[in-house]
Structure 1
Amino acid sequence: MATTLQAPTPPAAETRTRLPLATLAALAVIGFVLVAMETMPAGLLPIIANGMSTSEGTIGLYVSAYALGTVIVTIPAITLTRGMRRKPLILVAILGLILANTTTALSSDVTLSLASRFVAGSFSGIIWGMLAAYGRTISPPSRAGLSLAIVSAGAPVGFALGTPLGSWLGMTFDWRWAFIGLSAVALVAGAAIAVIAPDAPGQSGKSRLPIVRVLRIPGLLIILAVIFTWMLAHNTIYTYISPYLRAANSDLTVDLQLFIFGVASIVGIVITGALLDRYPRPLLHGSVLVFIAAGGVLPVGHTSTVAIIVATVLWGITFGGAAAQLQAALTTTGGADSDVANSFLPVAFNLAIFTAGILGAALLTNFDGLVLTIVMMVSGLAALALTIYGRRNAFPAHL
């Protein structure tokens, strides 16, 4: 059984001894764009609402429409495109993403904007499903963990800096320039991929598993459950960080805390890149444990600015490496069907974002922001229990 879970090594990869760093960096930039594109409207709600002459609640649907496109389209799209060569497919998806996002930037009609956000989310899901497996395929097998860490670096940076950067552009110039800026970044990264990225073959028809059988691969559902519970723990407090700081009566501003979180996330990426190839399972267990510890410091030390900063640093370090660790598990466990396996990641992630928004809003109607740290700890403990339970099939000792 262990043999069937190992992704086959393409012939081109056998002769590669160097990481295609420039290509992996370009893929990481695309990851940054995907996350920033999804979360940026949250920091521009009043500005966009005023510019579109509508309510903030309506503009809040920009995030929901994007997430809905990802959830609905990702898995069937990845399933239908498994036989296509990887480079042309990702370039087409990036082009579609740019066109949809630019439509949002130029649109003066809310309905058209929501439709373009749905389409952008759909292309985003296709790209997410490809990034990890593509980056790993074009890299030396011995550097699989490092390649995944590099490709995954864009996601936490997008979460930490995408919304603040978009807010700054929107307030300094015009909200439309924030969207145009992301389209420009995606265009440059896509052009770099077109010029320098090696191609990779699609999957032959004989080796493809039906999507239901992919879900039955031992360990896959456990990994998806970890993604959902861990990201629920993260997003419940990340989305509502302002109510927490208000309840803590902290001198920290939201922008400063997110900046600290972002820097710590980059540290987490570095640590993950150094350890993932050799110690994937201990790294995952340790990351979730430190995440839970950060969740414990936030309520206990809420009266101390230093304690909040320490907790934020620990939280950021663990989150920074989470994407690479979970994508590595999906890619290894998915084996020959790793593209389809990875397509479930954005679905689980966006379901966690959706659930966190509802759960956080419900809790804050009856409690103050400190209650969010309880969700962070409880859901984090659930994720830890799942990583221990799935250590045999879902989280191997070696990639």
Structure 2
Amino acid sequence: MTNAEAPAPPAAPPTAHRWPPVLAVALATFTVVSSEMMPVGLLTPMSHSLGVTDGVTGLSLTITGLIAAALSPFAPLLVGARDRRTVLVAFMLLLGLADAVTALAPDFAVLAVGRVLLGAAMGIVWGLATSVGPRLADGPRLALTMTLIFSGVSIASVLGVPLGTYLAALLDWRAAFWALALLGAASAAVLAATLPALPVHERGRLGGLAGALRHRGVAAGIAITAFVVLGHFAGYTYIRPVLEADAGLSSGVIAACLLVYGLAGVAGNFTLGPLSGRRPKTAVALALAGVALAAALLAYTGGVVTVLLVLVVWGASYGGVSVSTQAWVRTADPARIEASAAVWAGVFNAGIALGSFAGGLVVDRAGNRAVLLTAAGLAAVGLLIALLSRPDDRRP
């Protein structure tokens, strides 16, 4: 046995009754991503209410991402041999508490506390949730299971943030976070009611993480993930000023374009998800090629129709990034699924935080076109790694 944790096998082969827990985990990922990204849609009213600049309020995303990135790789180690069902329920409750603290925040300092708590909850939930799927389904059902779990990510972009923004417009930005707090508690209750017991035989160990990274297939998958997430968030974070200043689109048209982008992301998740279960390298290559191509084209694109077409390609491609890169890592080392999934989640969250930060530096120094070309270049590096490697490469 390796130093990695050894999950207890399911009590019975996956059957139809296993779909409720899969949907419960999907609800959890939807809630996590909606909570993380909600400040994007509420930046201006939050800043005015808290008496700080938009740039300071934007740090709430960076804080959350960095905390989650730091904790995710060590989630199996930190929670030890505790039943994963219990851990997921507890940290979804913590997520609800974090959103409640944010809703109550009288100033940015208290809001930062709430976002730190959110980052801690995200780090543990993401560090474990991606390894739960293989324990709920196997064989032909596994690809659909992981597609459903990751659908929460893309659906949060299409529904979660826009609904929160709409609620804030009707009531107040704090109402959006109160709604997320309630959703966090509801998600915890659904997980408690539907997930089976998920015990582990051994405590997670640092050796398990090191062993996963020594696997060439896992290391390649982690590098691919790092480059594409860095590239995507370097460019997409600043998509609104690009469409306003360079494409000359109005705010209403931009909102429609981003909705189309989000719907394309959901379609991409459900298209590349099943493919990733059969051919993860092909799915990853298609996803990264689409992101790189779309970012490069958008740097030279004008006109509503052309912009929409490019955003459809970008959305559909990035919608498949999470499920395909995670499938690559899972396929590479099935014996250490929880350890490799935890590292993958940490790198993904770090890519979000660092990509947005790097994109801001490029925009300030070189402009909108440069940041899109930077995004395309980073995604292209990830694509090159994918083309030159394979998930099942076990060479030392």
Q: Report the TM-score, using the length of structure 2 for normalisation.
A: 0.90
Shift of 1:82: 4.2
Partner of 1:322 in structure 2?
Answer: 321
Partner of 1:331 in structure 2?
Answer: 330
Answer whether contact 1:17 1:140 (CA < 8 A) is retained.
no
Flag the 1:299–1:100 CA change in 2: closer, same or farther, 3 A. Answer: closer
CA displacement 1:118-144 (0-9 Å, x = unmatched): 111111110001112112211133321
Shift of 1:297: 2.9
Partner of 2:78 in structure 1?
Answer: 80
Partner of 1:26 in structure 2?
Answer: 24
Distance (Å, rounded) in 2 between the aligned partners of 1:206 and 1:87: 16
Distance (Å, rounded) in 2 between the aligned partners of 1:80 and 1:390: 32
Partner of 1:264 in structure 2?
Answer: 264
Partner of 1:380 in structure 2?
Answer: 379
Q: Which of the numbers 204, 214, 217 marks the counterpart of 1:216? A: 214
CA displacement 1:93-132 (0-9 Å, x = unmatched): 1111111221111122432221221111111110001112
Answer whether contact 1:222 1:394 (CA < 8 A) is retained.
no
Shift of 1:240: 0.2
Answer whether contact 2:23 2:149 (CA < 8 A) is retained.
yes
Flag the 1:19–1:108 CA change in 2: closer, same or farther, 3 A. Answer: same
Partner of 2:352 in structure 1?
Answer: 353
Identical positions, percent: 24
Flag the 1:223–1:240 CA change in 2: closer, same or farther, 3 A. Answer: same
Partner of 1:16 in structure 2?
Answer: 14
Partner of 1:110 in structure 2?
Answer: 108
Amino acid at match of 2:292: I
Distance (Å, rounded) in 2 between the aligned partners of 1:183 and 1:96: 9
Answer whether contact 1:14 1:141 (CA < 8 A) is retained.
no
Partner of 1:294 in structure 2?
Answer: 294
Answer whether contact 2:331 2:392 (CA < 8 A) is retained.
no
Amino acid at match of 1:307: T
Distance (Å, rounded) in 2 between the aligned partners of 1:226 and 1:194: 34
Answer whether contact 2:5 2:203 (CA < 8 A) is retained.
no
Partner of 2:144 in structure 1?
Answer: 146
Deviates further, 188-197 or 160-169: 160-169
Partner of 1:42 in structure 2?
Answer: 40
Distance (Å, rounded) in 2 between the aligned partners of 1:88 and 1:269: 28
SS of residue paired to 2:320? helix
Residues 56-75 of structure 1 correspond to what in structure 2 (within 5 A)?
Answer: 56-75=54-73
Amino acid at match of 2:27: V
Distance (Å, rounded) in 2 between the aligned partners of 1:75 and 1:380: 23
Partner of 1:124 in structure 2?
Answer: 122
Partner of 2:89 in structure 1?
Answer: 91
Shift of 1:12: 2.6
- Unaligned runs of 5+ residues in structure 2 are none
Shift of 1:92: 0.9
Distance (Å, rounded) in 1 between the aligned partners of 2:148 and 2:238: 29
Answer whether contact 1:71 1:350 (CA < 8 A) is retained.
yes
Answer whether contact 2:226 2:351 (CA < 8 A) is retained.
yes
Is 1:242 aligned with 2:240?
yes
Flag the 1:337–1:173 CA change in 2: closer, same or farther, 3 A. Answer: same
SS of residue paired to 1:89? helix
Shift of 1:376: 2.6
Aligned residues: 392
- Unaligned runs of 5+ residues in structure 1 are none
Answer whether contact 2:225 2:347 (CA < 8 A) is retained.
yes
Distance (Å, rounded) in 1 between the aligned partners of 2:384 and 2:52: 45
Shift of 1:175: 0.8
Q: Which of the numbers 170, 173, 188 marks the counterpart of 1:172? A: 170
Shift of 1:180: 1.0
Answer whether contact 1:49 1:59 (CA < 8 A) is retained.
yes
Answer whether contact 1:78 1:129 (CA < 8 A) is retained.
yes
Shift of 1:313: 0.7
Flag the 1:383–1:13 CA change in 2: closer, same or farther, 3 A. Answer: farther
Amino acid at match of 2:30: F
Flag the 1:112–1:7 CA change in 2: closer, same or farther, 3 A. Answer: closer
Answer whether contact 1:67 1:118 (CA < 8 A) is retained.
no
Shift of 1:319: 1.2
Partner of 1:363 in structure 2?
Answer: 362
Shift of 1:258: 1.5
Amino acid at match of 1:359: A
Flag the 1:164–1:68 CA change in 2: closer, same or farther, 3 A. Answer: same
Deviates further, 261-270 or 290-299: 290-299
Distance (Å, rounded) in 2 between the aligned partners of 1:73 and 1:267: 30
Shift of 1:148: 0.8
Answer whether contact 1:93 1:123 (CA < 8 A) is retained.
yes
Distance (Å, rounded) in 2 between the aligned partners of 1:311 and 1:120: 33
